[in-house]
């Protein structure tokens, strides 16, 4: 089912401006935004992935990773194709980059009601919007979140945090917890390796904290790219100051064999992971985990 998109502006010459993520794509008729799953058809913007799951799994919540939210439970985890980033280290690139710029949308029909039924039938107390970037399937996620809430299920986003302020405002009443990637503390890394920007992510993190969303942060340590001690210290201090010392920080290991690109880099040495953990603890974080 094609669904008219939320949060867009109609412009002259049947162009539209999508306001779902901080790219704010200007989209001409018959074209899609950067995520590959929002298309301008005759001056109206449509989501191409509403009700179209590419992945539906029952995962331990620790795999999100969330270590301090409903520990020991399973979370019904869903994704559609598409992503607003193009991280060179992506581990789900077949589905995240699949629909760009105009490739077919691969999926199975999975309306929101069915997701709720699956979660309840499998005793999952939460639903995770994950694997790719939930921001780009906002309409689908939001509808599912509302139904989930009615049934007493919790909603979890695993996200790059690059949604627009408008999107964040829409989801916050339904959102219980999030694991947000903080990939680097350098704008240049986000631009060069992800096709994104750091600043909106930091603002969104602060806002989520202000709205009492349970937050856990993940940083992937890529040798030579995101392993500088000074930079990691900045991340740790940001978490401590803005999100609180009790916010868990997950330090994860890069493996070239599962990476979209960057296969020429080595796996993260264990000493580097250990060093990053020490940086977190020294900055005053209470919970630093090696993934």
Residues at the contact surface with ligand SF4, assessed by CB under 6 A: 18, 20-21, 23-25, 33-35, 38, 84, 136
Taking the complex as a whole, the smallest distance from the CB of residue 86 to ligand SF4 amounts, in Å, to: 10
Instruction: Select 136 or 213, whichever has its Cβ closest to ligand SF4.
Output: 136
Taking the complex as a whole, the smallest distance from the CB of residue 33 to ligand SF4 amounts, in Å, to: 2
Q: Which residues pair with 199 in a beta bridge?
A: none
Instruction: Select 35 or 182, whichever has its Cβ closest to ligand SF4.
Output: 35
Taking the complex as a whole, the smallest distance from the CB of residue 46 to ligand SF4 amounts, in Å, to: 11
Instruction: Select 15 or 114, whichever has its Cβ closest to ligand SF4.
Output: 15
Query: Which residue in the shown chain puts its C-beta closest to ligand SF4?
Result: 33
Parallel/antiparallel/unpaired status of strands 44-47 and 3-4: antiparallel
Taking the complex as a whole, the smallest distance from the CB of residue 17 to ligand SF4 amounts, in Å, to: 8
Asked whether the CA dihedral 165, 17, 199, 225 is positive or negative, the reply is: positive
Instruction: Select 88 or 225, whichever has its Cβ closest to ligand SF4.
Output: 88
- Nearest C-alpha neighbor of 194 from the set 85, 97, 95: 85
Taking the complex as a whole, the smallest distance from the CB of residue 107 to ligand SF4 amounts, in Å, to: 17
Taking the complex as a whole, the smallest distance from the CB of residue 65 to ligand SF4 amounts, in Å, to: 25
d(CA 137, CA 2): 12
Instruction: Select 23 or 183, whichever has its Cβ closest to ligand SF4.
Output: 23
Instruction: Select 100 or 114, whichever has its Cβ closest to ligand SF4.
Output: 100
**Which ranges in 59-179 belong to alpha helices (H)?**
93-96, 112-121, 138-150, 165-171
Is-cis flag, bond preceding 65, omega within 30? yes
Strands (E), the chain: 3-4, 8-10, 16-18, 26-27, 38-41, 44-47, 52-53, 55-60, 74-79, 108-109, 126-129, 154-159, 177-181, 214-221, 249-253, 288-290
d(CA 64, CA 54): 17
């Amino acid at each position: 089912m094609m669904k008219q998109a939320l949060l867009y502006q109609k412009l002259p010459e049947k162009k539209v401006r999508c306001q779902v993520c901080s790219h704010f794509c200007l989209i001409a008729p018959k074209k899609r935004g950067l995520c590959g799953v929002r298309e301008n058809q005759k001056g109206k913007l449509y989501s191409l992935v509403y009700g179209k799951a590419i992945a539906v799994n029952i995962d331990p919540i620790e795999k999100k990773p969330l270590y301090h939210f409903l520990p020991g439970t399973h979370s019904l985890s869903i994704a559609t194709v598409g992503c607003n980033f193009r991280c060179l280290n992506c581990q789900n690139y077949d589905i995240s980059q699949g629909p760009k710029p105009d490739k077919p949308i691969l999926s199975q029909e999975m309306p929101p009601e069915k997701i709720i039924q699956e979660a309840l039938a499998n005793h999952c107390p939460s639903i995770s919007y994950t694997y790719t970037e939930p921001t780009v399937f906002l309409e689908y996620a939001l509808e599912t979140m509302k139904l989930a809430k009615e049934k007493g299920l919790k909603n979890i986003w695993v996200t790059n945090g690059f949604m627009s302020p408008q999107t964040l405002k829409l989801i916050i009443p339904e959102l219980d917890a999030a694991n947000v990637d903080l990939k680097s503390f350098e704008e240049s890394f986000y631009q060069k390796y992800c096709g994104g920007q750091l600043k909106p992510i930091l603002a969104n993190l602060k806002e989520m904290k202000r709205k009492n969303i349970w937050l856990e942060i993940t940083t992937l340590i890529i040798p030579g790219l995101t392993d500088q001690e000074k930079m990691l210290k900045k991340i740790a201090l940001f978490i401590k100051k803005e999100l609180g010392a009790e916010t868990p920080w997950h330090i994860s290991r890069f493996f070239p064999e599962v990476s979209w690109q960057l296969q020429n880099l080595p796996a993260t040495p264990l000493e580097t992971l250990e060093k990053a953990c020490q940086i977190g603890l020294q900055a005053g974080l209470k919970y630093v985990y090696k993934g």
